[in-house]
Every structure is written in structure tokens, then in C-alpha cells.
Structure 1
Amino acid sequence: MSPATTCSLLLLFFLTLSLHINFSTAVNSIGVSRRTLAVAADTVPSPKKVATFFPSDISPPTEKYWYSRLPNTPLPKALGYLLQPGHYPSINTEFANDNVSASVQISYKIYKTSAKHEKAIKSSFPDSTIFYLYNDIHPGKRMRIRFANSGTKVSFLTRQVAESIPFTSDKIPEILKYFALQVNSKEARVIRDAIGGCEDPNMEGEEKFCATSLESLIDFNVEGLGQNVRVLSTEAGKKQEYTVSAEVRMIGDDKAAVCHKMRYPYAVHYCHVIAETEVYEVPLVGSDGTKVKAVTVCHLNTSAWSPDHMAFKVLKIKPGPAVCHFLDSDTLIWVPAKY
């Protein structure tokens, strides 16, 4: 082979090799860029401004943590909905409809009812049984009931994201800015009320906690009740006359924890354990034949309640006697599994 031919072949070889290397490098660079972007998306801290905080950006946690802490406790339907991607948005700033959630004011502010809340409750539940006496839960008792829920179509945030968002009254301006809410809006008022309720001093014999994530909700109740628990909620039913169809069954007492879903841009639960209470499961049959298992809480001693509380006006009694009320369909009852 002549020297000229040899040089030509060598030149062709190095040219081909150079093109191959440049092409491979380009492909790898694209691949690395894509992988880098994917990794970055997983590791970048949670966004701090609502402008980049869309519901579609956040997937709710799964039931994995639930079963890691509560392996023998079925996940209640009221929580299952909050863990289904796409069923509810993670964040929703339309949560201030007074008419839908007036019953929540009954639930977690049971000891005190302002005139404004009383008016909202009455307008939301006309001709409905809101409070009733302890001796009224017996077979044959008829009550006109509207089963409601908090009206907040929001799901849980992950613990990491939830804990990055302030949840204290001294951070209200920051919270409103985070969710792009006006200072004087209804939503701002609801946020102030919710956080204020969480920060109110505990009532006598009450232990409470506001859970801003699924993990903190589970941890609070496991710490107080252990892992051998049952978690129940009221079945939803339309407004009509219901009859107590059988003997009621006690499902919890002072050790039961009640967790109310609050009105908030994402899922927050107000959990409390109140002394001198009993929790019952009440079998009901509607006038149209619909069967509902409702959960009711009875406060055995109301002597510490304000004499102006709505319950006493409705029942025409003075503070002292036991007073009961049904719970919303997205309120959770945690009780020891012995019941």
C-alpha cells in the first residue's frame, strides 16, 4: 500500500472517529440535561409563591404512611377521598362559603357560639335537628337531619410542603400573600378564624391539635390512643326526616379523638379529646327508606358552657344537662379498638 493511500485512510478514520465522538457527546449532553432536569424537579425546595403553586403541581400523599403506622386499621372513606390524585385539588382558595360549612362551627367551637355563627347555622339548617338531648337517642325517635360536610374540596399536602407554610396568627399577612388572598376578603377572615381556633386556650378537660398533614394527623392520634384503633365517620345522607331504627352503640368515651376537617386552602384537621363525652353510632332510616349510620357526640356536662350558647336556646334548657349533636360526614372519630 502506497504512503499516499495510507495517509488517506488514516485521515478518513480520524474524521469518522471525530464525527462519532461529537455526535455521542451531543446525545449524552441532551440525555444528561434531561436527567438533570428530572432530578432537579424532585430536589428543588417547595415553591414559596402561590404563582407557581398550582394544584396540579402537587400530588397528595398516599395511604403508605397510614398502613405503616396503622397496619390493622382500614383507611376510612372520608380520608380515602383525600388521597386520590385528581379527586380533589391539593389547594383551593374558594373555601369561604358560609352556608356550606356552618355545621363546622358547631363542631369545633362547641362551647361558644357567636351571634354571627348562630345566624349562619340557623340559615343553613332551617327546620333541622342541630342539638338534641341525651335521652333522645332511642329507637323510634324521629329527627329532621341535614348531614353536611366542611364544604372544602381540598386534599392533603405532603408533610414537607405543609410544614414549609406558616400556620400561626403572627404570620397571617405572609399566609395571605402566599395564597394571593386579599386582606379584607372572606377567605382571609376564614383563615384567621381557623388559626385562631387552633390557638385558643384549651377548654377544661380538652386536649387539642391542628394537623396540617396526613402524617401529623396520624401521629397525634397514635400517640394518644396507640395503634390498636378504629377510625369512623358519619355516612352522608340527604336532608329528610330520619327515625332511630335500633339501639345505639357506644363507640368511644373520653379517650375518643374527634378530628374535624376545617375550612382552609388545603386539608387541615382540628383534633380534640374532650373530657366527659361519649360517642355513639346511631342507626337511622330515612323517610325514603335510606339507611344511614350516623356518628353523634354527647357532652355529658355543659355547666361550663356560656348560658347564651345556641344549644340552650334550641333545647330551651339551662347549662348543665347532657347535649348531643351529629358530626359532619368528613369528621373522623378515632377510638380504641376495644369498642
Structure 2
Amino acid sequence: MESTTLHPLIVAAYRVLETGEPITHAEALLLADLPGELALDLASLANKVKNRYGNKTEALHACSIMNAKSGVCGENCRFCAQSRHNHANIEVYDLVNEESVLIEARHCLAEGVSHFGIVTSGYGYKKISSEFQRVLDMIDRLHEELPELHVCASLGMLGEEPAAALAAHGIAHYNINIQVAPDRYHDLIADTHTVEERIETIRLLRKHNISVCCGGIMGVGESMEERIAMIFALQELDVTVIPLNVLVPIDGTPLEGSDPVSVADIVKTFALCRLAHPDKIIKFAAGRETIMKDFQGLLMLSGANGYLTGGYLTTRGREVADDRRFASQIASFN
């Protein structure tokens, strides 16, 4: 009979479950090198760690976002349909009005999703411009009319004054991703701005006690070792929510036609992220439906305890009601 003994590296990693102390960078590299047939053993450990340490505030974190300003972005992020440097066929519009945001937020809340993010294209806001003030007014309106809603935002890079203003207006989480290992940002993501500008924004947000939602993307040409470097860079930044995306290649961008990341590697990445961040919210975002397809539930059993529902700025996601049923089924494994 074939032995069912766990691999010694996975046995050693059970220390995380026992103590709550994360794995080291060196341990993550060794675990990542295990064959695909052991991915489920690693996932099982990550799921146990998630259940013990990662579900302290809510069993499953669900959020929805609204593309409140679309396209004509001056940055040249290689994966992004909204960059004016790329040629994707998307809808382009300026910042929407308050009523549009309120309608979308009400729908989000009615569907049982309590976190709602306002997202705008572009570099960001170094000063409080008239457009940024309109976003602040939207946040105030949402707080006033939907007090049970957690209002979040993703507005690009920020200066001191906008960061302080968001704190004063009660933003719940602010999303700004480092995307990849910091030393690979220039080559794999963009060269019209630097990852240091993103990290400086994260530090400003932390200075003003704003919870940071910051993660990355798989499938843009990075190696597994570089994914792990990104995971540990997030550890140093001490973020609250970690969204992990898988590239959905969009026609008209430099990454159109890219080969997909294997399901086994995605599972390993989520599991290693959980073992490196035992008590964080780790959220599966883009690629959940289109790349994982029949395997998307597996990620919720591999360390993830959150998901983005309803759509991804320029691409549609699964219906919120379908995701609610999905979440209730996953809960039986907790």
C-alpha cells in the first residue's frame, strides 16, 4: 500500500498552524518547488491555518467595485485595458455622478455584499483637486444613506492631503497593488511610474490609519520565485487585505494571448500566501471565473477567505447571487 505520509517540508510548515508564526521566505521557496501532486497537501494546511487565524472578523470577506472613471489612463501598465498606451476596446467615460454610485452601492448591499469600492482610472491624486473632492462627496453620501456599508476606494497614487482627507471621511480600505516583486515592477508592469510611488502611498495610508488592500497579479511573466518575493514584500508592508489576481489577457494590451498560469501553481501561490500571512484577508479577484473555472472553489480551500464579486472594472464577473450560493457551500468546509 502506498504511504500517505506528508512530505517533511509540509510537516515542518504545520508549525504555522500550531503557533501562528508565518513561514520564512526560504521555507516558501522550498515548498513552492514541491511537485504538483503535493499541492493539495499544501492547500489542506493553508485551509486549516485560514480557519484558525484568518477568520477572526468575518468567515468570508466579499466586496464589489464600481468603475467610476474609465479609460484614458496615462500610465502604461501592460495588462490594463484602461491605459491609453494600449488599444483595448472598452467604454471610456469621466467620473460618474453621485446618483450612479449610490444606485450601484444600494444594489451591492441588497445582494448581501457589505464592502463597496469606488475605483477611478489614472495616475492618482497628489492634491485635493475638484475631481477628488467629488469622490469625497460620494463617500460622504454613501455613509449618510447607507451607514451599514463599508466604503472603500482605489484611486491610484496619493499625496499627503488626499490621504489625510480619505481618513477624515472614513474610508474602510484603500486598494493599491504592488502587482509583482518590487524589483520586477519596471520590467513586468509599467515604466511611466515606479513601484516606489505605490509603496510611498501605502506608507501614507498607514500613517493615517487607513487599512490597506494590496496584492498582485499572476501570469504577467513572473517566475514562482518572484511571486514569493511579492508575497514577502507585502509582509513587510503589513497590509490588511491581499487581493490576488490571475491575468485575464485582454485583446489590445501587450499581454494579449499570454499563456495561462497552471491551476496547480495558482493553488500553491494562494497556499503559500496564507502560510506567510496567517491572519490576513486573502482575496481572489480577477481570473476566478475565467482562469480557474471548475477549480475556483479549490482556492477558497487553499487559504483564500475573500473574493471580489460582480465584475472587474472592464470585464464581467459572476453574478453576486451565484457567488452567495457558492460562499454558503464553501462555508461547510470551515
TM-score bracket, normalised by the shorter chain, equals under 0.3
TM-score, length of structure 2 as denominator length: 0.27
Q: Which has the larger radius of gyration?
A: 1
TM-score, length of structure 1 as denominator length: 0.27
Greater helix percent: which structure?
2
